[in-house]
Amino acid sequence: MSDADRRWRQVGADRPLHTGFQSVVARDYVLPDGQEAMWEMVALPPVVGVLALTDDGRIVVVRQFRPGPDAVAACLPGGLVDPGEDVLTAGARELREETGYTAAHLEHVATTRGPNDLHPSHAVLARGAVRTHEQQLDPYEDCEVVLWTPARLREEARSGRMTGTELVYLALDHAGLL
């Protein structure tokens, strides 16, 4: 069976099930065998995660409380890509706001999307990261900035204690740090 034959056909428009920071919509499909299915889709706006490398080879990481795992967890600095905003601009903005770091060079290295996500997640690699500003945190952010070696970041990503590990691995791979 070809990919075209495997495609589900959407019937009608998306219906909001929950509207908020992370919205959920219902989408109706007809499957290739004629079955009908309703699928719940996550409508979080596009996001960016930044793997920021300092000149001495350390990686800028943030630790903050995350409601999903109900714990303080490490993650790459990042956040929402504003409507009409370029991914690199968003990455630079989020890095500066959450950590106070800016970088000499930023590169968009990968885009990924979960099976039920309506919008993508982007990995950005930032080289030459230096602390140049004070943090400018959003009301619900409490970011502790830590500097880790690539080995420590890989260890934490493998442990299951981090969030956003898909972006971590994509950026580490691109940087040749796996």
Domain ranges for the chain: 3-42, 47-174
Q: What is the DSSP letter of 100?
A: S
pLDDT at 108: 98
End-to-end CA distance of the chain: 36
What's the token pair of residue 26? 């219902």
pLDDT at 45: 92
CA dihedral of residues 61, 64, 66, 69 (deg, nearest 10) = 70
Full-prediction pTM beyond 0.95?
A: no
Fold that domain 47-174 belongs to in CATH? Nucleoside Triphosphate Pyrophosphohydrolase (3.90.79)
Q: How far apart are CA 167 and CA 164, in angstroms?
A: 6
The residue with tokens 């204690």 is 161
Residue 162: other Cβ atoms inside 10 A? 20
pLDDT at 133: 97
Residues 6+ apart with CB under 8 A from 149: 57, 58, 59
Q: What are residue 116's DSSP bridge partners?
A: none
Q: Which segments of 128-167 are extended strands (E)?
A: 130-131, 144-148
Tens-digit pLDDT profile for the chain (178 aa)? 899 999 999 999 999 999 998 899 999 999 999 999 999 999 999 999 999 999 999 999 999 999 989 999 999 999 999 999 999 999 999 999 999 999 999 999 999 999 999 999 999 999 999 999 999 999 989 999 999 999 999 999 999 999 999 999 999 999 999 9
What's the token pair of residue 150? 């690539």
Q: How far apart are CA 33 and CA 120, in angstroms?
A: 29
Structural contact between residues 91 and 126, judged by C-beta atoms closer than 8 angstroms: yes
